[in-house]
Amino acid sequence: MQKVFNKIKDLNIKILYKKEEIYPYAFDTAPIKDEVTLPLCVVFPKNTEDVQNIVKLAKKYSLNIVPRGAATCHTSGCKPNNKSIVVHLSFMDKIIEISKEDLTIKVEPYVTIKNLQNEAEKLGLFFPPDPSNLAVSTAGGAVALSSGGPRAFKYGTTKDYVINLKVVLASGEILQTGANVAKNVTGYNLTQLFTGSEGTLGIITEITFRLIPKPDKRLVTLCYFDSIIKAGYAVNSIINALIVPSTLDLLDRNTLKTIEKFNPTGLFEEQEAALLIEIDGSNAKIKEDNEKLFSILKETGAIKIIQSKNEEENENIWKTRRSAYACVTKLRPNAATEDVVVNRSKIVPLIEGIQKLSKKYNIITCIMGHAGDGNIHPNFALDLNNKEERENFEKLKDELFRLAISLNGSLSGEHGIGSEKKPYLDIALEPVALKYMEKIKNLFDPDNIMNPNKMF
């Protein structure tokens, strides 16, 4: 393989291939269950042309390509094999242009969501997708997984804001999937095909997002309930009252206790559940919605209602919520987060099912999620070096995925499939859908060099 390494060096592309250098690129944030497999090498392209040259080399020498950004994927979506060239996109981190008139922003894949949001807000614009790790989450990763976040109920997910992509295909060709316009029904919607494709169809090197005007104001409410059922009923009552919060998140008692243990902020940790609700818009709209919201929360049994008074308090409440997973990681040597989706009417049965599974397999579980759109995230704390715990965790996950499907739900709302959930695709998808997805993969990547063993 030294010949391949030399050719990459000749292209003036940074490359790592020593064992101690490439070891950190052998996994993402998914729990490590098996022996770590090192990639062949890691390369750092500076532009689309560099990516194109790397793909052509991989094709010529029958090697695999694994695109990688911040690697915050929870499903082993960045996991390489020993024939993999890991294409690390960290040098491609520029905001190319932003247009207030056209309400668009064009970026390279390693721009973080936080930086993207900040640049948009300087012009009074807004990029709503809001993954919890937005400070490190990259635009390319967000598109590859069609990331969502707490604002998805009102504003949608990443897929609703992508209007054009530049992609390097397995053939080495460069594809523009759409056009930089607000409306476009010219031909098949290739942009949406690549959004959520997890690097299995090509490498995204440029993204054009649409933006919207930034809301004037926001108000954050944190309220507590003595049962999950009451919290679930409150969610439905809020929506039935035609209030559309930008965020409607649920946290169970274990989550509250864990946050308070490691990041004390005065949460009422003895309550069974809490809802974090954010409403935004004009001052008049917020006042109107908040009057209805407050009344509904009282009627549905909220024990304590806390509301922010200013933007600083908004941020403090959100910092507490965003610390949840980090706090879970301190409970045991390992932590894992899962991602399943059901309709709102099935949230309570799903959560009750997760609680039963946690007791059955004796796994510490903190449940949180986006109750507005039914996307629930159970976070597990365990020791993967303990054989019994590791086996129990695998059994729990198997039953969790099957539970979500039995409730007419889905395997993932925003974390993707990767290799972790690949074995469950045949129970989550109809055979005809699965057949044509496999045909799409084969059409774009006939030699299966693009992130193999992820989804297909």
In this prediction, residue 322 carries a pLDDT of: 87
- pLDDT digits 0-9 by tens, 15-72: 999 999 999 999 898 887 778 899 999 999 999 999 999 999 999 999 999 999 999 8
In this prediction, residue 273 carries a pLDDT of: 96
Helix (H) or strand (E) holding 205: strand 202-210
Are residues 234 and 275 in contact, defined by beta-carbon separation less than 8 angstroms? yes
Q: Which residues contact 64 (CB under 8 A, 6 or more apart)?
A: 58, 80, 81, 83, 84, 85, 449, 450, 451, 452
Q: Enumerate the β-bridge partners of residue 341.
A: 375, 410
Both structure tokens of 293:
């919201």
Work out the angle at residue 188's Cα, subtended by the Cα atoms of residues 187 and 190, and round it to the nearest 5 degrees: 120
In this prediction, residue 254 carries a pLDDT of: 96
In this prediction, residue 133 carries a pLDDT of: 79
Tell me the pairing of strands 64-68 and 84-88. parallel
In this prediction, residue 90 carries a pLDDT of: 97
Radius of gyration of the chain (CA): 22
Residues of the chain with pLDDT under 70: none
Work out the angle at residue 377's Cα, subtended by the Cα atoms of residues 266 and 404, and round it to the nearest 5 degrees: 145
Are residues 147 and 159 in contact, defined by beta-carbon separation less than 8 angstroms? no
Are residues 202 and 231 in contact, defined by beta-carbon separation less than 8 angstroms? no
How many CA atoms does the CB half-sphere of 337 hold within 13 Å? Answer: 25
Only one residue has tokens 């999937």, namely 177
H helices within 175-282, ranges in order?
190-194, 228-240, 253-262
In this prediction, residue 199 carries a pLDDT of: 97
Both structure tokens of 71:
């690697």
In this prediction, residue 383 carries a pLDDT of: 95
- pLDDT digits 0-9 by tens, 315-347: 889 889 889 999 999 999 999 999 999 998 899
- DSSP assignments along 46-113, one per residue: -SHHHHHHHHHHHHHTT-EEEEESS---SSSTT---TTEEEEE-TT---EEEEETTTTEEEE-TT-BH
Distance CA(243)–CA(246), nearest Å, equals 10
Distance CA(132)–CA(285), nearest Å, equals 26
> Residue 89 corresponds to which amino acid?
L
Q: What pTM was estimated for this model as a whole?
A: 0.93
Both structure tokens of 226:
């003595």
In this prediction, residue 31 carries a pLDDT of: 81
In this prediction, residue 40 carries a pLDDT of: 97
Only one residue has tokens 């991989």, namely 58
- Taking CA atoms, 17 is separated from 44, 165, 313, 339, 348, in Å, by 12, 30, 47, 34, 49
Cα dihedral 202→205→206→207 (10° resolution): 50
Report the Cα 274 to chain-centroid distance in Å: 22
